[in-house]
A and B are shown apart, each in its own frame.
Chain A
Amino acid sequence: MEAAITILYQASQLMLIAAVVLILYRFSLGPSVFDRVVAFETIGLAVVGYLLLESNATTARLYTDAALGLALFSVVGTIFLAYFLGRGEFPDE
């Protein structure tokens, strides 16, 4: 029982690490700056997921606060970067 749960959490963390490696490769390729912004946001959210999994696996209560703060800063930072890149010139609907 415990071993199965530990193996599931470790496999999940390995999949998140593989996702971060793929996103970093796209970050190095990225033809436009928008790809790099999306890669930045997605790496932040992957770290949020890793912290949540680590919080579950080790029952350490400190990781959840860090995950909440990182989620807030990642998504709101992406919104500000999008406004900066768009320069207020958004297309009409």
Chain B
Amino acid sequence: MNELATPLEMVAAVLAFAGAFLFLAGAVGFLRLPDFYTRIHAPTKAASLGIPLMAFASMLVHLGGGFDLWIEDALIMLFVFLANPVSTQILVWAAVARKIRPFADTQGQPAGDSIDQPGTASITTSKDNS
């Protein structure tokens, strides 16, 4: 790395820094929020934007350096941006089906199924009341 940095590499470094900062913010939200349903949204949003930002930065570096690897970075970007919200949605469906209790200030109920069990976050199968 003796040659002078191109502007493309500087833009890539700034984008990667922004992605890593988003990831750290998502981790802080994942640690501090009070409830599973509020807690899952922070790392999902952060990872769904942070990983594509870092992959886009890597794609810029590979395109500027003349490597053929930019297609793999594009695949990472597309796959994480599409599949990470889907996995989160399926996890929240599973949590509603297993009656993970939201915290006390939550207003409203999930559609189609009610979570009204008092106590701590309980994992019970919903077979015995259906």
- Which applies to chain B's interface (DSSP): helix, strand, loop or mixed? helix
Chain B interface size, under 10 / 10 to 19 / 20 to 34 / 35 or more = 35 or more
Tally of contacts, chain A with chain B, CB under 8 A = 202
In B2-52, the 8 Å CB interface with A consists of 4-5, 9-10, 12-14, 16-17, 19-21, 23-24, 26-28, 30-31, 36, 39-40, 43-44, 47, 50-51
Mark A residues whose CB is within 8 Å of B: 1-2, 4-5, 8-9, 11-13, 15-16, 18-20, 22-23, 25-26, 31-35, 37-39, 41-42, 45-46, 48-49, 52-53, 55-56, 59, 61, 64-65, 67-68, 71-72, 75-76, 78-79, 82-83, 85-87, 89-93
Mark B residues whose CB is within 8 Å of A: 1, 4-5, 9-10, 12-14, 16-17, 19-21, 23-24, 26-28, 30-31, 36, 39-40, 43-44, 47, 50-51, 54-55, 57-58, 61-62, 65, 67, 69, 72-73, 75-76, 79-80, 83-84, 86-88, 90-91, 93-98, 100, 110-113, 120-121, 123, 125-127, 130
